[in-house]
């Protein structure tokens, strides 16, 4: 162990950091002897005073071993936002190389500068939209949440509208005295569940993501067929040993079919044990027509939006956004619930 006195090079470095970084950007943890052991700072791209156009950020955590700066510190990059894995890995390895070069000298400023350069270079979200799983292209409208997550505006609108609908439906199911009296829906970020504020109406006006529109269709490959075969064989083997849950024996024939289900009357060829297939037979047709009509309206509305246009979050003007044009979906949901209600009824009969 080194002597209890903190190395002068380290105290100087920390004084300088405190002078340059804002209090809320810098967090220095000390051990019980009062020696600094961990420096944490959130870093943004260098965009001058314009914080609106910072689309990426990362938290740099530097652990100072006793003996620093004669021993390299340990670098950690946490909570990367708008950055893909490769970029983060590159930043990490560059930072570690920098530490090796600077053994014997304070390295914090060099590290901060290095990470900032990386952030400035990749100051556009490079990862994919977590909702549609496609990237951001020139011409796409996207939204940066307060928690620095990125979504195509169109995708985020779909999420918030669906979440609000779910919230209302759940509220209606509760008895009056259990209902949330404020009846106030709070949208959350799909990735980190932080509360977010957004104006669904204006998000909906964005066109669907370009990559989504251009993606190719999927076809069943030979490899897939082979897997399907293996699965079917396993099913049969398990069935022979009585290992398959027998829904009929459990008295829940109704899991699959309901009288008001038009698919129930036609004899579908269904794979073994497919109690869930009946849902799709009725719903897939709806989804196709719905997608088409939505896309065409968005395209006509948004032909002028050809710029790469990030859309900053706006504060919500109240919560009376109407989910127009979603009656189809609503009906679909109610339909699933009907299926599950039936299961529940069957389930509640004594065993």
Give 249's contacts (C-beta < 8 A, 6+ positions apart).
none
In the list 284, 300, 303, 312, the residue contacting another protein (rule: CB under 8 A) is 284
Here the contacts of 22-28 (C-beta below 8 Å, separation 24 or greater) are none
Q: Residues binding another protein: what is the number (CB under 8 A)? A: 65
* Residues within window 221-240 making contact with another protein, judged by CB under 8 A: 221, 223-225, 227-228, 231-232, 234-235, 237-238
* Residues within window 184-223 making contact with another protein, judged by CB under 8 A: 188, 190-191, 193, 212, 215, 217-218, 220-221, 223
> How are beta strands 57-63 and 36-43 bridged, if at all?
antiparallel
Q: Are 328 and 290 in contact (CB under 8 A)?
A: yes
As beta bridge partners, residue 74 has 63
In the list 137, 279, 305, 342, the residue contacting another protein (rule: CB under 8 A) is 279
Closest of 161, 139, 160, 149 to residue 207, by C-alpha: 139
ω into 91 cis (within 30 of 0): no
Stretch that binds another protein, among 4-12, 112-120, 132-140, 304-312 (CB under 8 A): 132-140
In the list 41, 283, 316, 321, the residue contacting another protein (rule: CB under 8 A) is 283
Nearest-approach distance from CB 119 to another protein, in angstroms: 23
In the list 21, 88, 124, 132, the residue contacting another protein (rule: CB under 8 A) is 132
Nearest-approach distance from CB 198 to another protein, in angstroms: 15
CA distances from 46 to 114, 229, 243, 310 (A): 11, 55, 61, 18
As beta bridge partners, residue 335 has none
Strand ranges of the sheet holding 309-312, from the earlier edge strand across to the other edge: 150-152, 141-144, 309-312
In the list 241, 315, 322, 324, the residue contacting another protein (rule: CB under 8 A) is 241
In the numeric block, the tokens 């024996």 are attached to 249
Residues that bind another protein (CB under 8 A): 130-134, 155, 158-159, 162-163, 166, 170, 188, 190-191, 193, 212, 215, 217-218, 220-221, 223-225, 227-228, 231-232, 234-235, 237-238, 241-245, 247, 250, 252, 255, 269-271, 273-277, 279-280, 283-288, 291, 329, 332-333, 336, 343, 347
């Amino acid at each position: 162990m080194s002597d209890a006195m903190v190395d002068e090079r380290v105290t100087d470095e920390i004084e300088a950091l405190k002078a340059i970084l804002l209090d809320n950007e810098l967090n220095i943890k000390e051990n019980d002897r009062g020696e600094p052991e961990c420096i944490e700072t959130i870093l943004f791209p260098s965009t001058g005073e314009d914080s609106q156009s910072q689309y990426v950020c990362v938290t740099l955590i530097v652990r100072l071993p006793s003996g620093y700066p004669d021993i390299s510190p340990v670098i950690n990059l946490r909570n990367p936002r708008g950055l893909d894995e490769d970029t983060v890995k590159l930043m990490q390895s560059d930072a570690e190389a920098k530490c090796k070069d600077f053994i014997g000298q304070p390295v914090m400023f060099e590290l901060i500068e290095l990470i900032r350069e990386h952030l400035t270079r990749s100051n556009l979200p490079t990862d994919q939209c977590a909702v549609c799983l496609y990237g951001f292209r020139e011409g796409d409208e996207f939204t940066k949440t307060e928690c620095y997550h990125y979504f195509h505006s169109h995708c985020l609108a779909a999420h918030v509208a669906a979440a609000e609908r779910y919230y209302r439906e759940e509220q209606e199911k509760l008895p009056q005295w259990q209902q949330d009296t404020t009846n106030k829906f709070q949208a959350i970020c799909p990735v980190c569940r932080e509360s977010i504020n957004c104006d669904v109406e204006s998000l909906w006006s964005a066109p669907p993501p370009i990559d989504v529109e251009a993606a190719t269709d999927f076809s069943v490959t030979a490899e897939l067929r082979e897997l399907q075969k293996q699965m079917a064989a396993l099913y049969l083997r398990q069935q022979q040993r009585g290992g398959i849950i027998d829904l009929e024996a459990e008295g829940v024939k109704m899991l699959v079919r309901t009288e008001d289900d038009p698919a129930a009357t036609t004899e579908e060829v269904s794979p073994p044990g497919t109690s869930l297939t009946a849902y799709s037979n009725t719903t897939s047709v709806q989804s196709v027509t719905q997608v088409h009509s939505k896309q065409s309206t968005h395209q006509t509305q948004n032909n002028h939006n050809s710029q790469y246009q990030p859309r900053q979050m706006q504060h919500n003007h109240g919560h009376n956004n109407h989910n127009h044009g979603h009656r189809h979906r609503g009906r679909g949901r109610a339909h699933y619930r009907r299926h599950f209600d039936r299961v529940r009824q069957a389930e509640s009969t004594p065993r």
